[in-house]
Homo-oligomer: A and B are copies of this chain.
């Protein structure tokens, strides 16, 4: 086959595959979106190889989708138009640790947990933890989706931590964006545009990340509440008063019940809030005490998790636990973002909508950040319930958008949320499409994502 031979000449024969097993692995992510097989998978090792492959794809107008671990949740790397998948997982080196500047330069395929393990001796870490997928998610994927995580309440999302990048645009041109300066006012912020563009503008082949010092002190705690409303009102209040939490995760009663059934955690089946505080040993106690006082004002009770478990050991299983309740069912997922003061309304309205459609809802998320995942789980073979669950999702997202929220707090738009983009961005969507044409004039980079080609 011509394609394979040419790609092998641009990279190496053993790093180009048309085997069905390789193509199947590159066809899907962790979402419920239908997989689509690419024609060929390529594993590049350098910026130069990426540029050569993109030049080739551009010359022949072949769709090309960059891919990390495939742990995304909205179909972001599914190659819907086939073509080439560029699997960056072998570009996984640390290029340089700039400990004196609290920065690290990495290749995009490095896995989140591997990076932080290697930074530990320097007393540094990259904070936007991708939660349950921290052991597989790559930095490149996190950058593509502007990922966040439990620690983003204190440290911000991925975009705030990306300082510079080497990227390959849709024409194969190699550009350097950003600098290693902490602050610049020079020129347009192209780097900020790249972060969160889901591989549709350019492919990052090297990334410089801002790090933070490992906290001297940390303290975790779990609180149960008499109701969902009490729990989320407590969170909104803590945020209002600027309680400096490193993490503030909410799980509704049903999510807790699912966790118990999944792993026998023996948790009290009440709406729960898991928090973590970072700082000096004394400030940690101070901040934790403020958090506890505000939780108690809202009816919260500080509890010890059975077996003295770390809250995150429990929290990270949430999605899997809900999925395990009924393996025949599929997840209809939301990734709601909203002003933190509206958290109680979003939770109340989500339950009201689910009740109206007679479908079961689970809610949990980085509540301190104003991100809630409302999950509906139904068997797609039950056409009536499946349609009802999808309508419930649409109503929940519309409610959030109508208050000035976002259809994607942290997972990206991918395929799963494309239909909400027009409502969220209005006429600004045309400027986004114009920018796409500038970076990728032949529309070869991850085509069909964020908006559909026809839209």
Contact = CB atoms under 8 A, between A and B. Distances in A.
A439 B427 CA distance: 12
Interface string A312-346: 00000000000000000000000101111100000
A100 B184 contact: no
A425 B173 CA distance: 14
A369 B239 contact: no
B146 A409 contact: no
A435 B431 CA distance: 9
A214 B426 CA distance: 36
Contacts of A185: 145-148, 157, 196, 335, 406, 408-413
Contacts of A405: 179, 181
Contacts of A280: 283, 286-287
A105 to B, nearest CB: 11
Interface in A177-212: 177, 179-190, 192-193, 195-197, 201, 212
Nearest to A180: B339
Contact of A193 (B145, B175, B193): B193
Contact of A101 (B179, B190, B339, B407): B339
Nearest to A201: B188
Contacts of A176: 426, 428
A385 to B, nearest CB: 28
A421 B189 contact: no
A421 B185 CA distance: 11
B175 A431 contact: yes
Given A186-B406, A283-B283, A173 B421 contact: no
Given A189-B193, A286-B283, A183 B421 contact: no
Given A283-B283, A286-B280, A429 B337 contact: no
Contact of A431 (B182, B241, B439): B439
A188 B424 contact: no
A419 interface: no
A277 interface: no
Contacts of A283: 279-280, 282-283, 286
A159 B185 CA distance: 10
A54 interface: no
A413 B186 contact: yes
A99 B240 contact: yes
B428 A102 contact: no
Interface in A82-120: 98-103
A78 interface: no
A417 interface: yes
A29 B165 CA distance: 34
Given A103-B339, A340-B182, A450 B187 contact: yes
A213 interface: yes
B427 A175 contact: yes
B189 A239 contact: no
Contacts of A432: 187-188, 190
Nearest to A281: B286
Given A182-B370, A425-B186, A213 B196 contact: no
A39 B173 CA distance: 42
A409 B184 contact: yes
B189 A406 contact: no
A226 interface: no
Q: Which of A182, A236, A337 has the most CB of B within 10 A?
A: A182
A218 to B, nearest CB: 14
A131 to B, nearest CB: 14
Given A102-B239, A188-B197, 10 more contacts: A99-B240, A157-B183, A180-B404, A181-B338, A181-B370, A181-B409, A183-B366, A184-B409, A185-B413, A213-B242
